[in-house]
Structure 1
C-alpha cells in the first residue's frame, strides 16, 4: 500500500498487517518505524505520529520538571552520555 503525504512530493511505502487477534500493525519501510492500532485507521494514525517523532518533526526533549514527574533524576538522566540503561541492553 502506498500513501502519499499531501504536503510533499515524496511517496511513502507502508506495510499494513492484520494480526491474529484482529489488531493492525503498520510499518514505514523507509524508516523501519512501526506502530499498532485496533483498526487499520488507528494503526496508520499512530504510524504517522511515530514517524514524525522519529524524524524530529514533533515532540521535544523532556524538561527537568517532566523528568521529575516521571520519577527520573534529571542530573542522572542527562549524564548517561547516550549509553543505554542495563535493562535496555
Structure 2
C-alpha cells in the first residue's frame, strides 16, 4: 500500500500528484524525487510509485532473475555473454 510519508521529521514532506489519464490508466508522480509511475488503478499507480522511489533512493530493486529476463524475450545466457561496450550509435 502507498505510504503518505517516510516518517522522518527531517525529510521534506512527500508531495504526490495523481492523474487519471484519458485511457483509464492512472499516473502518480512524486514531486520531491521527480519520478513517475502508472497503474490500472489509483492504488496500483501509488504502489508502483513507491517501488520506483524505493529503487531510486537505494532501498529497492534487484538484479533481474532469469525468468524476468525471459519474459522480456531475451535469452539470459546471451544477455550475460555480451560485453560492456556501448553500441556504435551510443559511442
TM-score scaled to structure 1, two decimals?
0.66
Partner of 1:45: 47
Structure 2: distance between partners of 1:27 and 1:62 = 25
Aligned residues: 79
Gaps of 5+ in 2: none
Partner of 1:15: 17
Q: Secondary structure at the match of 2:47?
A: helix
- 1:68 Cα deviation (Å)? 7.5
Partner of 1:74: 80
- 1:56 Cα deviation (Å)? 1.7
Q: What are the residue-to-residue correspondences of 1:19-34 with 2, within 5 Å?
A: 19-34=21-36
Gaps of 5+ in 1: none
- 1:73 Cα deviation (Å)? 3.0
TM-score scaled to structure 2, two decimals?
0.64
Instruction: Compute the RMSD of aligned alpha carbons.
Output: 2.9
